[in-house]
Structure 1
Amino acid sequence: MVRTLVQILVFFFSLSVVAQNESVSENLNNQISTNLVLPITGSFDLSYERIVANKWAVGIGAALYGEGFQNLSTYDSYYERITNYEITPFVRIYFNGSQKRSHFLEVFGSLSQVEESGRYLRHVNQEGYGVYSVGSKSFSVGGLGVGYGYRFLFYRRKVVLEAQIGLRTNFDVDFVFLNAAFVRTGIKIGYRF
C-alpha cells in the first residue's frame, strides 16, 4: 500500500515538473518569416515579429518586387505605376494568444518606392521655359493598411505557417484619389525563437 502511494506521488510530481518546463520553454517571442507565393513572381519578402504581450506583437516587413510582380501591377489609362520595394512596420493582435494557433488582425504602415512611366513631366529648358514630355518619375510614397490571417504552429510551436490577406492604400500627393493594392498577402512560413 505504501509502495503504491509513493509511486502515485512520484508520478504526479514528475508531471508537475514536466508541465513547468514546457510552459517556460514555450514562451517564444521572436519570429522570422517569408512569403512562399512571392518567389513565383521573382519577388522576395522577409518579416520580423516581436511579441510584446500575450496577444500583441509588433514587427517590420520588407519586400523587393520583381518583374513578374510588376506585370501584375495596376495600370491607369494614362500611365503605368510599378512598386519596386516596400517597407511595412506592423502591429498584430492575436485573438487566442500569441503562443497558440490563432486568428490575427494586423494594422500596418507602408513606405514604398514607386516608378511611374508614360506620364507627362515638366522640365525647364535653358531659356527658363517649361517644356512637357512623356517620361518616367520615381518617388517614395506612404500608406496604411489592414490585414487578417490565421497562424498555425508546428514542431514544438517553433515552425510557423500563416495564411494572410492584406489591403494597403498609398497616399498620393499629386491627386486626391487613393491607390489601393493587396500587400502582405499570401502563405508564409517562419521560425520562432
Structure 2
Amino acid sequence: MMKKIHCIVLLFLGSIIFCFGQEETNFPQYKNQISTNLLLPFAGSFDLTYERTIANKWAVGLSGAIYGDDFGDFDTESSGYYDRTTNFEIMPFVRFYLNSTKTNGHFFEVFGSISQVEQTGGYVRNVNDQGYGVYVIGSENYIVGGLGTGYGYRFLFMKNRLVVEGQLGIRTNFSTNFFFLNVALVRTGIKIGYRF
C-alpha cells in the first residue's frame, strides 16, 4: 500500500514538472530588444537603445542619444561662469532584472557615458595670424566620459514582443581637464520597444 502511494505522489509531481516544462517551451525566448524614448522628441531629441539578454536576469546593451537645444532645460551641466550643453551621447549599460528578463518587473542599471559637450561663456584661446595666443569669450567642444545608474519597470505585451518601460536614470560626467560632478537626467522617460 505504501509503495502505491509513493508511486502516485511521484507520478503526480512528475506530471506537474512536465506541464511546467511544456509551458516554458511554448513561449519563444526573445533575446534582443530595440527601444526608444517617447518623451525626448518633445525636447527636440532622439535616442535608440539595443539590449541583448545574456542570462535569466542579466542583459547588456548600447544606447545612443542626440540632444536638441530644448534638452538643455533638463540638464544641470552649468556653473556660474559657463554653460555646458551635451550634444550627443553613447551609453553602454548592464541591466539586472529582479524577476527575470522574460516577465514584467523591476530592473536596475549601471551605465557608462561618452558624450560631446559644448561649453560656452568661457575664455577660449585662439592663435592669430602672427602666432600669438588671444583669449576671447567663446565656445568649445570636447569629449567627456561619465558614469550613471538607473531604475525602472518593464511591461511586456503581445506575447512578450511589445515593451513599455518607465525609467529614471542619473549620470555624472568627468572632465579631462578637471574633475566636476554634475548630475543630468539621462535614460529617463517612457520607452517603447520591440523584442525579437
TM range (shorter): 0.7 to 0.9
Equivalent residue number for residue 140 of structure 2: 137
- Which of 61, 64, 71 aligns to 1:62? It is 64
Contact 2:58 2:96 in 1 (8 A): yes
Contact 2:173 2:180 in 1 (8 A): no
Equivalent residue number for residue 6 of structure 1: none
Unaligned runs of 5+ in 1: 1-12
Q: Deviations over 1:30-71 (max 9, x none)?
A: 100000110111111110000000000000001111121134
In structure 2, how many angstroms separate the alpha carbons of the residues matched to 1:71 and 1:176? 23
- Which of 41, 44, 47 aligns to 1:45? It is 47
Q: Is structure 2 residue 80 aligned with structure 1 residue 80?
A: no
Pairs within 5 Å for 1:120-159: 120-159=123-162
Equivalences, count: 179
Contact 1:142 1:171 in 2 (8 A): yes
TM-score, reference length from structure 1: 0.85
Unaligned runs of 5+ in 2: 1-14
What's the C-alpha RMSD, in Å, of the aligned pairs?
1.9
Pairs within 5 Å for 1:141-180: 141-180=144-183
Instruction: Rate the CA distance shift 1:22–1:97 in 2: closer, same or farther, 3 A.
Output: closer
CA deviation after TM superposition for structure 1 residue 180, in Å: 1.9
Q: Which amino acid aligns with 1:164?
A: Q
Q: Percent identity?
A: 58
TM-score, reference length from structure 2: 0.84
